[in-house]
């Protein structure tokens, strides 16, 4: 069951805590996918490892294969040894098993299953290397000029890089060209056979109007998300890269989208030519950034700080993780009745 929406006032208050647009991580961008109008951009052309945001391209090419008749949603595709060798996140089937293309899409988009990304790559192109070549040709066709793919999943690879602008172009393409597949991006959970899978997208739990898309994480890239939300018939999308925790990723994407909705009218009126294609390109190509040292994850060598919190009823102390002082401020802002509506639930880390 989904949590109640956090009121817009709560995110407005949190944006003050984080300095307007919740600047704490890497590049960010907010845009209107209908025409590519950019409402906010920061370091949009900096190179970044895409992590599982790569799977947006994998899904895009699967939709393309369905449209061309190469695949159908009901078609069963084989789970190979190469798929089984992939590290988590994964579905973890046995070699020789099959799943439908529909199940594969749900596994890739909702669970971010690395093994199933390989299954789709092999079904479309025969091998992951051939599929990577197709990904790169498609990226060039979409105008993703600073993107290179070497695998279908986003697992760590030095040469696999992209930018916030390029990811925005990809996200715009997938939602505008394949609106019939929109439900995949907004699914909260699903069953693949007997396996229940659930989303990593915290916006779907907490942000009013949230309707997709995809999260991603590796130690070098940090916590990333391409997020979409619709209010009053207007759809906006945000790209957030390099946050230090899942909670901060959700918070920054939410405040950016909130900023976009509040500034939508005057931004379109006074800056109508600022689009994904027309926005000036930063000609300086800096080395790809790694945020491994700032990421709060045991896997990355940075364990979250543990704090003991006493329950209000005077019971035993309960231990929970706090990833940074800013997270404590954010949580305090949510429950501060002077800043947000009474009863608003806190944004939970994921």
> Which of 86, 78, 32 has its CA nearest to residue 55?
86
- Does the pLDDT value for residue 336 go beyond 70? no
pLDDT digits (tens, 9 = 90+) for 208-262: 999 999 999 999 999 999 999 999 999 999 999 999 999 999 999 999 999 999 8
- Using alpha carbons, list the distances in angstroms from residue 300 to 85, 113, 159, 215, 297: 21, 20, 20, 18, 5
Confidence of residue 20 (pLDDT cuts 50, 70, 90): very low
Burial class (CB in 10 A: 0-12, 13-18, 19+), 100: middle
Rounded Cα–Cα distance for residues 14 and 336 (Å):
11
Instruction: Tell me the CATH architecture of domain 26-291.
Output: 3-Layer(aba) Sandwich (3.40)
Q: Hey, where are the domains in the chain? A: 26-291
Q: What is the DSSP letter of 53?
A: G
pLDDT digits (tens, 9 = 90+) for 100-116: 999 999 999 999 999 99
Average pLDDT, the chain: 84
79 vs 7, higher pLDDT:
79
| DSSP sequence for 208-251 | TTEEEEEEEEETTTEEEEEEEEEETTEEEEEEEEEESSHHHHHH
Catalytic center residues: 52, 55, 112
- Does the pLDDT value for residue 264 go beyond 80? no
């Amino acid at each position: 069951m989904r949590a109640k929406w956090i009121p817009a006032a709560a995110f407005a208050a949190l944006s003050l805590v984080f300095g307007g647009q919740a600047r704490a991580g890497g590049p960010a961008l907010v845009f209107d996918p209908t025409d590519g109008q950019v409402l906010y951009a920061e370091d949009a052309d900096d190179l970044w490892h895409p992590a599982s945001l790569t799977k947006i391209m994998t899904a895009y090419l699967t939709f393309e294969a369905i449209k061309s008749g190469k695949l159908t949603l009901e078609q069963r595709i084989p789970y190979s040894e190469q798929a089984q060798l992939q590290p988590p996140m994964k579905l973890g089937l046995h070699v020789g098993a099959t799943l439908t293309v529909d199940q594969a899409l749900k596994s890739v988009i909702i669970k971010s299953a690395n093994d199933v990304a390989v299954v789709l790559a092999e079904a479309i192109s025969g091998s992951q290397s051939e599929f990577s070549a197709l990904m790169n040709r498609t990226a060039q066709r979409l105008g993703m000029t600073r993107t290179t793919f070497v695998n279908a999943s986003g697992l760590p690879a030095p040469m696999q890089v992209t930018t916030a602008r390029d990811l925005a172009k990809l996200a715009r393409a997938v939602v505008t060209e394949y609106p019939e597949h929109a439900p995949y991006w907004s699914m909260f959970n699903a069953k693949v056979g007997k396996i229940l899978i659930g989303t990593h997208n915290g916006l779907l739990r907490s942000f009013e109007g949230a309707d997709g898309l995809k999260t991603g994480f590796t130690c070098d890239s940090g916590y990333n998300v391409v997020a979409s939300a619709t209010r009053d018939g207007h759809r906006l999308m945000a790209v957030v890269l390099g946050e230090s925790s899942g909670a901060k990723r959700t918070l920054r994407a939410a405040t950016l989208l909130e900023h976009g909705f509040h500034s939508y009218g005057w931004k379109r009126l006074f800056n109508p030519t600022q689009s994904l294609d027309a926005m000036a390109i930063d000609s300086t190509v800096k080395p790809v950034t790694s945020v491994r040292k700032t990421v709060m994850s045991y896997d990355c060598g940075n364990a979250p700080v543990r704090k003991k919190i006493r329950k209000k009823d005077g019971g035993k102390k309960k231990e929970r993780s706090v990833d940074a002082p800013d997270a404590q401020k954010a949580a305090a802002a949510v429950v501060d009745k002077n800043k947000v509506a009474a009863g608003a639930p806190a944004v939970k880390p994921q």
